Structure 1
Amino acid sequence: MRRYGPLPGLDSTAGHRSLEPLPYELLENKMAVQAAEIERYARENQRLAAAHVALRQELVAAQRERQRLEAHIGSIQTENDIQIRVLLERIAKMDANIRAGESVKKDLQQAHMEAQSLLTARQELTSQIQQTTQELQKAHAEVKRVPEIHVELDNQRQEHRRLRAVFEYEKGLNIEQVEQMQAMETNLVSMAREMEKLRAEVSNAEKKLHAPNPYGYTYRDLDPSYSPAVQGSAVYIDGYGMPQVQMSVGAIEDEPLSNKQAQHTKEVECATIPFKWRNEVAKNTNSSKDIKVVSLIDRVRGSWDVDTLQTLFQPLDIIEICKIPISSLRVPDQLVWHFTKMGCFAVKSVSHLAKAVSDSQRASSSSISNAIDSSV
């Protein structure tokens, strides 16, 4: 480098002396010093030029490296963007899968329930199959018995034919029996009328016997052969094989029994044959099925009113009703249609009942009624 100004080591007085000619040695020394400085400056300049070139090369290399790094950074950033997009897509898919997982969970629970129901159905089907297998085995065993069943069926057919022939034969006989039964019913009605007439006569005779006599004797003393009516009922079998009852006759009391007497009353069966209405008119007019006894009795004669009974009941029913002793009835008594504990129809009374027929008579009456019904 060049320096301007006075040389070092020279004072101000030297400046004033510069104009003066210098000696030769000083000039040579000065030139040598300047040459050395120039040479030093040249070397310094070369060194600086080399350093400048190296710096230029390093700058170019640095720029290339920067460009390479920028390209690498760009590629890395692009890859990062791609990876971020992929991750975002995965996250979105995972969110969708998580949301769909709830429905899948519900479907799984439903599938478990269906599996349990199918398991239960399978067990039921297994039990049904076992039961069906057992039934099939039984059916096979029964199939083996088919020839025996055919033999039994043939025997039954032959028995049926034989019974059919017997039935046809018995049917012809039953027609004659039905005609006889109808004649018997007619006779029974007439006999019931005669019975009521006899009751009226007996009642009149009893009234005469109990009537006061101014001569001091009774009708019983006049005719010792006369036997008074006995209270109660006596059973006998008539010529037609029908059970009949000789009834005592008495006036119907107008007042019910006292409390003391009512405590000793009982309900007794009267007949096993159910009472039937004679026609639909009587059935409709007496729909209550409970008839006051007093409405069925002729209070003048003191006996059952057969004409009224004929309009309401069947002939066999009339006979069963007429077997009830009138003397044992009261005004509040009713003919009531009810089943007893034995499963039979009974005539019930508010106060009490009198037993009209015995078990044998019930059996005979029931057999006659069944014969009539079967023949009809």
Structure 2
Amino acid sequence: MASRDYHTRDTSKPKRDSDSHSRRALESPPRHRLSDDRVAVHHRDVQTLLVDNQRLAATHVALKQELGVALQDLRHLSGVAGKVKAERAAEVREVFEKAVKMEAEVRVVDELRGELVKVGGDVKKLGVENKEFVEKVRETNGEIMKERAKQQEFEMVKGDIEGMKQEIQKGRAAIEYEKKVYESNLEQSEAMEKSRVSMAHEIEKLQADLANAHKKAMAAAAAAATNTPGYAAGYGNHDVGYGANAAYSGPYVAHQVPGGVNPQYVSQGPYDMQHHMVNPHYVPGPVPHGPYDMQHPNAQG
């Protein structure tokens, strides 16, 4: 459009030049000057036409280029139109497929509605059955609680039975222990009886030895008195002190059996040699009943 406007402006210039030339021709009266002026005007017109031709050629080239660009744009737009048409066709196809699917889904939904109505009826029936089941469960829970109470009572009775069994076992153990203690005490009593008899024999022998020693001492003192009268007086005093010492014969007298020694326990011969090995200060202690007395409360419990 710019080239076309430019061409119109260029074509208007020769008209103005021709007008100015005509005015000049009217003003200049000589003919030779008129011919020169015509040649000059013609030359100017030719130059103007050449310039216009060049401008037209440039405009033609520009229009050609614009035409090529327009053709390229047209081809591009044709390709874009094809793509858009294909996309639109794909979209239409997709919309159609979606419509078909939605129609199928609508049919399925209608079917599901019918099934939903049936399921609603079934749910109501199940609700009624659930209530009945809950009632049965409550009854069952009540029975279970009763059984648990009975089970607890059974456990208590079982615990009492176990306690009684333990008490019986303790009683049996106490009886067995009493039997063992009785047997042990019986054995200790027999041993103590034997020890008492042996001690009686020992005491009797010691008393006899003491009497013999006293007699020997008295005889020796009498013999010494006859030989040395001064020594006899002192020895007589010493004998009095010796006879008066009750502590010497005290332990032996304390261990004498009341009523004298039974003659059947008097031993003779080699047995008297063994009595010197017995400790004359041995005193038989009481029979130990401590362990039994300590365990007896357990036996009673």
The structure where strand makes up a greater share of residues is 1
The TM-score normalised by the length of structure 1 is 0.30
Larger RCO of the pair (alpha carbons < 8 Å, separation 6+): 2
The TM-score normalised by the length of structure 2 is 0.37
